[in-house]
Amino acid sequence: MKKILLLFTLIFSSLTISAQYTEIINSKRPGFSESPYGVGTDVIQVEGGVFFGKSNSNETFAKTDPVGGTLFIRYGKFLEKLEINAKVTYQKNKLEFNNILTSSRNIKGISELTVGAKYLIYQQEFADKSKEIRSWKKRTAFDKKRLIPSVGVYLGVNTNFLGKDYKEDKLSPKGAILLQNDFSDRLVLLTNLIADKIGTDNRYYAYILTMTYAMNQRWSIFVENEGDFYKYKNDFQIGTGAAYLYSNDLQFDASIRANTNSDESAFVVGLGASWRFDRHQDKQIETDENGNKIKPKKRKRRGGFFSRLFKKKRP
């Protein structure tokens, strides 16, 4: 137990230093929200999964019973605070026509293909209270800075390379503000404010709130609330799930979601994994006793816990 507490202290004592790269994989799964932090330079990350669900709807035209898979590719290059990413979703739905007579048919194809980038604008930093030895009260007091989130922005484009049953009229932009509050070393709140398919008849605005808690070195759980606001209707859903850290570069996850709409009932189960190809390197500059530089040295960073919650900073 003492060794575990010591490891946590070593990780969190470095939070006052700025960087994006984390010791272990930083996945957005299994939640739908995104952190303002990227994967770090010279890192390729692949996050994928399958989903299947059952649903009923009273809408005239309704897409129900979704089955499919999602692939999210993230790449860090050029700038530490910049991430380039792409998302593709292939799915199958039952398309229902509900009128005097009810009819249905199956549709399938690529339903989403989005490319974009996100950038960390502001990173909140916290004091290292482990060095406070004179006052137990000050060492354990809540840091009010944790109420101010780190801030990132996302800009992307919804392409039109979709299946004929999901085809859009034209390309459309997507934008989001990404916020992250680290309320404690284990408890994190992600808030996303989204504007999607801007300039089209299908445009909508959304929010996603995700609370994540790390139970131990391997397991974390989350709860999530999402609201989508369309021109003629609003959709709300809640979700929960868990992630298991198998290694520094591999994570598995599972989740379940249900909507809270009065005219529709639906639940969706998801299973997935995230894998990281890590070639990130930090330059470490050694100095002598007088503070003079000796020589630069490259060091690959290893070790750590759930990076979505615990972000170790560069030395």
Is the pLDDT assigned to residue 308 strictly greater than 80? no
- State residue 169's pLDDT score: 78
- State residue 233's pLDDT score: 86
Alpha-carbon torsion (216, 34, 76, 160), positive or negative: positive
Res. 10 pLDDT band, cuts 50 70 90: very low
Is the pLDDT assigned to residue 202 strictly greater than 50? yes
- State residue 293's pLDDT score: 56
Taking residues 60-87, what's their average pLDDT? 92
Of the ranges 17-21, 99-103, 275-279, the best mean pLDDT one: 275-279
Taking residues 258-262, what's their average pLDDT? 84
* Residue percentage of the chain with pLDDT more than 90: 56
pTM above 0.85, yes or no: no
Tell me the CA distances in angstroms from 33 to 163, 251, 295, one per residue in order: 25, 17, 42
- State residue 249's pLDDT score: 95
Res. 11 pLDDT band, cuts 50 70 90: very low
Taking residues 82-90, what's their average pLDDT? 97
Instruction: Kindly state the helix (H) or strand (E) to which residue 203 belongs, with its residue range.
Output: none
Looking at residue 171, its amino acid is L
Mean confidence (pLDDT) of the chain: 83
Taking residues 274-302, what's their average pLDDT? 62
* Residue percentage of the chain with pLDDT more than 70: 77
What is the Cα–Cα distance from 41 to 103, expressed in whole angstroms?
51
208 vs 6: which has the higher pLDDT: 208
19 vs 230: which has the higher pLDDT: 230
What is the Cα–Cα distance from 211 to 191, expressed in whole angstroms?
9
What is the Cα–Cα distance from 65 to 69, expressed in whole angstroms?
14
What is the Cα–Cα distance from 105 to 238, expressed in whole angstroms?
28
pLDDT 10s digits, 131-186 = 666 666 666 677 788 899 999 999 999 999 999 888 887 899 999 999 999 998 89
CB-based burial, 202-233: b 16+ in 10 Å, e otherwise:
ebbebbbbbbbebeeeeebebebebebeeeee
In degrees rounded to 5, what are phi and psi of residue 6?
A: -65, -40
Is the pLDDT assigned to residue 15 strictly greater than 80? no
- State residue 265's pLDDT score: 82
H helical segments located in the chain:
2-12, 136-140
- State residue 279's pLDDT score: 85
Preceding omega of 315 cis (within 30 degrees of 0): no
Res. 101 pLDDT band, cuts 50 70 90: low
pLDDT 10s digits, 17-71 = 345 678 889 899 999 999 999 998 999 999 999 999 998 877 777 788 999 999 9
Alpha-carbon torsion (253, 256, 259, 265), positive or negative: positive
In degrees rounded to 5, what are phi and psi of residue 8?
A: -60, -45
